[in-house]
Structure 1
Amino acid sequence: MATTPFLLVLISIFTHAYWNYLIKSSENKHVFTAFSKLAEIVIFAIPAMYFFSSTDFKIDFLWLILIASIITFLNYYFLSSAYKYGELSLVYPVSRSSIIFLPVLAYFIIGETINTTGVAAIILIILGTFIMHLDSFDKRGFLTVLKSISNKGSIYALLAALTVAGYTLWDKISITKMQPFLYFYSYTFLIACFYNSFIYFKFSKSNLVNEWTKNKTKIIQVGFFNSFTYILVLTALTMSKASYVGGLRQLSIVIGVFFGYKLLNEKLNKSKIIGVVISILGGSLIYIAK
């Protein structure tokens, strides 16, 4: 993997973990996330107007934008639901496990292949994620993991990971056809409409006012860092393979575990430490993969 996309993704993993921590620390996850999407479209409205005015917008772009918005909306819905039922340090690693699906989907959909080093890197990242969920390295520990995977938080997180694989591939295809920022902003605008319509009908006005009053600063931060993070990722996708970008992005779980431990008082046991180390090793191998 070339140095520039590697560094772009490394920066993105810090900002991505941070805005996920902010969502987890909110009171009403769905309302918070929906408001953050509104914040995004307001914060980045000026550059969006520039790209709209300077780009030849084709009718075919609407399909790219619509499909991206549906997949990404599902990701936000599943992620917010996962945080409702599970801890950040467990939900976040599973939701970032798109690498379980991505290489296979990338091969069949866009014909992307990876070398032996890349395969080894991905296996290590998956193994590290699994080990993070262990309470102990005995039979009881493995049974506990199997049980935790079947709970609502982990199921929603796994669905979120699947949608991440889906939109990563769709983004890889779409940014070859239209300007990356314009593409991202357009589907973010649609998601904001979808999500805020959803919360308007699902939650009372007092729920909406309460969440904004308590967390407006965090909502605005998520609005900024969400777009900033994915602009870095889209840029990296123009320079590198989707499987490697997706695999390296999973290193954000290391930061997520740290935030969960340091800021939310979640447990940091031996298995999480070992899992983090193995995941970092896998991410390092991606740098030399072809």
Structure 2
Amino acid sequence: MSTLAFTLIVISAVMHALWNLLVKRSRHKTVFIWWMFVASGGLFTVTLPLVPERFRWPDQTTLMLVTTGAACFVLYHLLNGRAYRGGDLSVVYPLSQTSMIYVPVWGMSILGERLTPPGIAGILLVILGAYSVQMERVSLAEFLRPFRNLASSSVRNALAAGFIYSLGSIAEKTGVRHYSPLYFTYFLVLIMLGLMTFNLLRSRYRPHIAAELREHWGLILVSGPIMMASFLTFRYGLNLSPMSYAVPVRQVSILVGVLIGILFLGESCGRIRFAAALLTLAGAVLIRLG
């Protein structure tokens, strides 16, 4: 994995952790995320005329890939939200990270990516770190706990979210191979915003739209450039590296999230969380070497 691709994806991971921090500080999460996309899409639209890269309309295939990716990522968020309604964080979070199990499989079987032994070891370490970050104690029973009740709707929704995210990653990687990552990201943001707007038309959300803007307009303004930077750096990095490496490396956001929680939110850092963050970092380093 090249230094440039690794650097771009790590920057994306930092930005991803920051915008998740903003979401955590909001009141109505779904409405706030919609406002974040409004801010990001607005900033994108204003700055595009200043970009030297020449614009060209996406062809039918690219437009289909953008739409598929957008639908997958919106569905991922909706499934995650449903999973969290009735499930514990320590169960839902690890299961939603199972996307990283599918991504290398799709990368090798569909996209023809070739992975090195250090790269494979790095992916496995990142998967282990991402999965174990919410464990409450070190034991086999605790490790298998999220899978115990497959009849639970929360477990099924979390597993579906991980699978759907991996499909969106295929669409992204294929799209940025043949089309500008800048404009691919722009159309991705716009289509995701459109799908989220359709969801927010429901009566349960409408009363909170103006209220969330009044209460957190400052966070919404800040979220625009943060989300834009997160999206762009990841897709440029994805264009320069195998998807099987790019998606796991972005999980460095776990380490950043742990640090933010300790330094700014006053959260305690248990030994398991700290060890999981170090596993993720070690895996990212191995992927870089691979």
Cα-to-partner distance string for 1:148-194 (whole Å, 9 max, x where unaligned): 99877666554443333222221111112222111111121121121
Number of residue pairs matched? 289
SS in 2 for 1:238: helix
**2:120 aligns to what?**
119
CA contact (8 A) 2:89 2:134 kept: no
Deviation at 1:288, TM superposition (A): 0.8
Distance in 2, Cα, partners of 1:97 & 1:62: 27
Structure 1 residues 96 and 131: CA distance shift in structure 2, 3 A: closer
**1:234 aligns to what?**
235
Deviation at 1:68, TM superposition (A): 2.2
CA contact (8 A) 2:26 2:32 kept: yes
Deviation at 1:113, TM superposition (A): 2.0
Deviation at 1:83, TM superposition (A): 6.0
**1:197 aligns to what?**
198
CA contact (8 A) 1:134 1:144 kept: no
Structure 1 residues 134 and 95: CA distance shift in structure 2, 3 A: same
**2:24 aligns to what?**
24
SS in 1 for 2:240: coil
Residues 187-226 of structure 1: matches in 2 within 5 Å? 187-226=188-227
Distance in 2, Cα, partners of 1:88 & 1:52: 44
Distance in 1, Cα, partners of 2:217 & 2:239: 34
**1:9 aligns to what?**
9
Structure 1 residues 122 and 143: CA distance shift in structure 2, 3 A: closer
Letter of the 2:222 counterpart: Q
RMSD: 3.0
Distance in 2, Cα, partners of 1:149 & 1:122: 25
Letter of the 1:43 counterpart: L
**2:46 aligns to what?**
46
Deviation at 1:88, TM superposition (A): 7.5
Distance in 1, Cα, partners of 2:276 & 2:127: 9
CA contact (8 A) 1:3 1:287 kept: yes
Residues 72-87 of structure 1: matches in 2 within 5 Å? 72-81=73-82
CA contact (8 A) 1:89 1:260 kept: no
**Runs (5+) with no aligned partner, structure 1:** none
Give me the TM-score of the superposition, normalised by structure 1. Answer: 0.86
Deviation at 1:145, TM superposition (A): 5.0
Structure 1 residues 101 and 204: CA distance shift in structure 2, 3 A: closer
**Runs (5+) with no aligned partner, structure 2:** none
Deviation at 1:114, TM superposition (A): 0.6
Give me the TM-score of the superposition, normalised by structure 2. Answer: 0.86
